[in-house]
Amino acid sequence: MEIHPQALRFCALIFITLYALLHLVEAQDQKGFISLDCGSSPNEPPYNDPTTGLTYSTDDGFVQSGKTGRIQKEFDSIFNKASLMLRYFPDGVRNCYTLNVTQGTNYLIKALFVYGNYDSLNNEPSFDLYLGPNLWVTVDMNGRTNGTIHEIIHKPVSKSLQVCLVKTGTSSPMINTLELRPLKNNSYNTQSGSLKYLFRYYFSASGQNIRYPDDINDRKWYPFFAPKWWTELTTSLKINASNGYDPPQVVMASASTPISTSATWNFTWVLPSPTSQFYVYMHFAEIQTLRSNDTREFKVSLNGDTAYERYSPRTLATETIFFSTPQQCEGGKCLLELTKTPNSTLPPLMNALEVFTVIDFPQLETNQDDVVAIKSIQNTYGLKRISWQGDPCVPKQFLWDGLNCNDLENSTSPIVTSLNLSSSQLTGVIAPDFQNLTHLQELDLSNNNLTGEVPGFLADIKSLLVINLSGNNLNGSVPQTLLQKKGLKLNIEGNSDLICPVGLCVNKAGNGGTKKKNVVIPVVASVALVVVLGSALAFIFVCKKKKTSNSTEGPTSYTQVSHAVSRSPEPAIMTKNRRLTYQEVVTMTHNFRRVLGKGGFGMVYHGIVNGTEQVAVKMLSHSSSQGYKEFKAEVELLLRVHHKNLVGLVGYCDEGANLALIYEYMANGDLREHMSGKRGGSILNWETRLKIVVESAQGLEYLHNGCKPPMVHRDVKTTNILLNEHFQAKLADFGLSRSFPIEGETHVSTVVAGTPGYLDPEYYRTNWLNEKSDVYSFGVVLLEIITNQPVINQSREKPHIAEWVGVMLTKGDIQNIMDPKLYGDYDSGSVWRAVELAMSCLNPSSARRPTMSQVVIELNECLAYENARGGTSQNMNSQSSIEVSMNFDARSTPDAR
């Protein structure tokens, strides 16, 4: 049959059109992409780059400072349109881009810098680049005629990401493009930290760089080939590359293999420093048509350690082999080897390779509620301050003008404690956003043009100690709630129309006859209060002394109780705050009517204080093994520590033989009850379990790092993790806690105490207690929430939970480790990381265990993975990726998962 030439031309036209449409669709599929042409005109509409199809838009609205420039014309032929313009920052030290992102999602972030002698000074700049409060990289343009790109894979911990350029010398920081690409959350996961690009090669002699639209994630792949040692394999057949990492078809369609069929394929690289940690991702696909008797099988090893004993690439399907833990190379020199096995007839092959170094970002961002509040205040009053960019509190050298923040050294998110907006030309009313700075201690709004009434919500900021509203145009009456707030220093002078109730404010004639009004704390009442308290304390002291002196002459039952408590050798509790009488305890518990539970300390009763507030009252049993020493330790600790994840002490009773601790009421009991099903209701899902252990870890981390001196709990277990009505977790039971009173002391020698199964074996063996003893106990707790198994079970192959999990891990059996009641409804990557974290906490050597700060960071990342799942089950254990775990035995052969 003869085909007419016109028909052939028509078919060709159809094919070309469909091909173009396909690439157009691909080019338009940029969901979540952020592509900023920095320095382009605010009026320029978004445009498509002709070489990539990427849509770029102006950076106007993403940054509030800087000036625009253009590289010199002589460089135009080298760069694409997006690289021609730039933004430079001659003013201020830190200038920042703020980008909206999806919290907990991995992003590929790329920043391009082309100097191009835009300022005609021939002076290549050098400056620092930050991600939020942490240093990412130093950008040095010296000798970089063709520019430089810095790339990182990073998971934002909040809904906004700040990329900041920081001036470090005389030259001005500058940037040409800033690009963000969301990645799948089952790829490029780390044990901790972010991934800083080292190299990304595909093994081909083509000489062609590959990026979008061929790579849907816009990664840039560079060709690499060693013709002296390798032969190139290629294919035109379609390769299934959907495995989470999704390397491009064109990348996987070529591979290198040794010229000699018996030779080893090897590849070497040098790390930035001998101590650098890194992650390696090896992408394989069999692209050669094998005959029936052909076999390709090889061993994968890194610096002589076997990573995979026998591996065969899948035919026309991509698999990725990677390490679940960061690796190191002795001296910083790395050697990757693929060695043919005796069963193989063909040499090994490699399609593509990515290597990233680990970069840790230890500084936590400022509390997000505070960030939202301070930025709302900034927007409300139109505040234009060059320093008000980036994170408000950290790093300290870039603290926003007028702010002070607490100093907790990376242990928890910084909070704003002081805000000074004096003489800032504020107009309008006092904005409601101020009340969202819930930890504020000092607020200075003096010498502005504020109008309206003094809002009552200021009294709701519980921590507020100083408010300066002087020199404004406020009117109305000062709210009673503010006047009655204890310990508050309020300055309202210079507001002529502001009315203060008679007797609480004193009017003074100031300069020029202007009336000034100051709130004066009623001194007479304060003095009277001191006299009454002093008399009461003296009366209690006399009565207590009288009771003590008569105790040996009292009834037999009283004498026995007094002896059982064994109080005489112990010094008295120093702080008398929140001390209650035994009669008050009887009243609040309605004569001990409702029992909540029983512990080693004694019975726990339900109580009511102030008519509405529910409390839990623990009464020391006369037969309890815990005596006055433990009671005293718990009271004195809880009187000086305050954290949202530690159970708060409402009060205590220390009256004769009657010892009681009054806690905040935790409506949902302890974690163990919920895990065992004793409280009924539905089983705790994986996300809820992670939230609970994150909050528990935060409380424990505060004891280790937020307390001065540091505290060791000594009895961390699931029954000491309590849950309130909102299932917020709080650590409880501090009777065994110990502190390190001497600065620099790393441990104390003490009699072993704790709960069997949770007890650190090193502490048990040496009697040396330090914070890593708590880390061990927390590791056991973590395994409990993962497995829902008892800590000790004699019917198991290995009775202790840590040993049992260790055995299961050597078999690669995650499904039988995980609680079957969850029915697989969890992110597998999140579970694996949690298991690995637990096992690292249970390392026999305390020195090799993580700190609680590291545990908190890692658990938050586990939670982010689970949150990103969106409530649907995902399974990372596909055959398309192979995770190499070298956590437990570097010589063992890992299993595919």
Q: What is the pLDDT of residue 738?
A: 47
Share of the chain above pLDDT 70, in %: 80
For the ranges 303-307, 482-486, 506-510, 689-693, the maximum mean pLDDT occurs at 689-693
pLDDT surpassing 80 at residue 98: yes
* Type of residue numbered 800: H
Mean pLDDT of 714-728: 90
821 is in an annotated binding site: no
pLDDT surpassing 50 at residue 259: yes
Q: What is the pLDDT of residue 115?
A: 95
Kindly report, residue by residue over 781-801, the tens digit of the pLDDT: 999 999 999 999 888 888 999
**795 phi, psi to nearest 5 deg:** -80, -10
Question: How far lies 439's CA from each of 60, 115, 396, 397, 787, in Å?
Answer: 33, 44, 18, 22, 38
Catalytic residue among 37, 214, 218, 715: 715
What is the rounded CA–CA span in Å between residue 707 and residue 175? 43
Kindly report, residue by residue over 136-155, the tens digit of the pLDDT: 999 999 988 889 999 999 99
Q: What is the pLDDT of residue 4?
A: 52
**135 or 604, greater pLDDT:** 135
**477 phi, psi to nearest 5 deg:** -105, 145
Q: What is the pLDDT of residue 681?
A: 63
What is the rounded CA–CA span in Å between residue 321 and residue 466? 59
DSSP string, 821-874: GGTT-SBHHHHHHHHHHHHHHT-SSGGGSPPHHHHHHHHHHHHHHHHHTTTS-B
Of 165-174, 281-290, 519-528, the poorest mean pLDDT is in 519-528
pLDDT surpassing 70 at residue 423: yes
pLDDT surpassing 60 at residue 525: no
Whats the size of the chain, residue-wise?
897
Q: β-strand 194-203 against 711-712: which pairing, if any?
A: unpaired
What is the rounded CA–CA span in Å between residue 733 and residue 758? 15
- Cβ proximity of 317 and 285 under 8 Å: yes
Rg (CA), the chain: 33
pLDDT surpassing 90 at residue 99: yes
Residue 447 is given by DSSP the state S
The number of angstroms, rounded, from the C-alpha of 800 to the middle of its chain's C-alpha atoms is: 30
Of 55-59, 246-250, 707-711, the poorest mean pLDDT is in 707-711
Q: What angle do CA 832, 698, 742 make, to 5 degrees?
A: 120
Q: What angle do CA 655, 659, 664 make, to 5 degrees?
A: 115
pTM of the model: 0.59
Peptide bond into 182 cis (omega under 30): no
Q: What angle, rounded to 10 degrees, do the helices at 771-787 and 801-810 form?
A: 60
* Residue 135, number of CB atoms within 10 A of its CB: 15
Question: How far lies 314's CA from each of 280, 295, 317, 319, 895, in Å?
Answer: 20, 11, 5, 7, 16
Kindly report, residue by residue over 61-79, the tens digit of the pLDDT: 999 999 999 999 988 888 8
Kindly report, residue by residue over 425-461, the tens digit of the pLDDT: 999 999 999 999 999 999 999 999 999 999 999 998 9
Kindly report, residue by residue over 15-37, the tens digit of the pLDDT: 444 444 444 444 447 999 999 99
What is the rounded CA–CA span in Å between residue 452 and residue 151? 50
Of 85-99, 172-186, 429-443, 872-886, the poorest mean pLDDT is in 872-886
pLDDT surpassing 50 at residue 724: yes
Q: What is the pLDDT of residue 156?
A: 93
DSSP string, 740-765: --STT---EE----S-TTTS-HHHHH
Average pLDDT, the chain: 81
Q: Which two tokens stand for residue 796?
A: 């198991």
Q: What angle do CA 423, 425, 427 make, to 5 degrees?
A: 130
Mean pLDDT of 326-337: 94
* Type of residue numbered 3: I
Q: What angle do CA 750, 743, 779 make, to 5 degrees?
A: 55
Q: Which two tokens stand for residue 356?
A: 């990233």
What is the rounded CA–CA span in Å between residue 550 and residue 201? 87
**308 or 770, greater pLDDT:** 308
Question: How far lies 804's CA from each of 427, 744, 811, 824, in Å?
Answer: 66, 37, 11, 20
What lies within 8 Å, CB to CB, of 44 at 6+ separation is: 37, 58
**579 or 625, greater pLDDT:** 579
pLDDT surpassing 80 at residue 886: no
Q: What is the pLDDT of residue 502?
A: 53
- Cβ proximity of 410 and 362 under 8 Å: yes
895 is catalytic: no
Q: What is the pLDDT of residue 626?
A: 56
- Cβ proximity of 850 and 834 under 8 Å: no
**78 or 283, greater pLDDT:** 283
Q: What is the pLDDT of residue 20?
A: 41
Q: What is the pLDDT of residue 547?
A: 39
| Residue in this structure with the two tokens 């019975």, named with its chain if needed | 603
Mean pLDDT of 754-768: 78
pLDDT surpassing 50 at residue 746: no
pLDDT surpassing 90 at residue 504: no
* Type of residue numbered 490: L
- Cβ proximity of 156 and 98 under 8 Å: no
**335 phi, psi to nearest 5 deg:** -135, 120
Q: Which two tokens stand for residue 742?
A: 């001497």
Q: What is the pLDDT of residue 618?
A: 86
Q: β-strand 721-723 against 579-580: which pairing, if any?
A: unpaired
Query: What's the helix, strand, coil split of the chain in %, to 5?
Result: 25, 30, 45
Which of the four pLDDT bands, split at 50, 70 and 90, describes residue 522? very low
User: Which residues on neighbouring strands pair with residue 283, listed in sequence order?
Assistant: 320, 352
Q: What is the pLDDT of residue 467?
A: 95
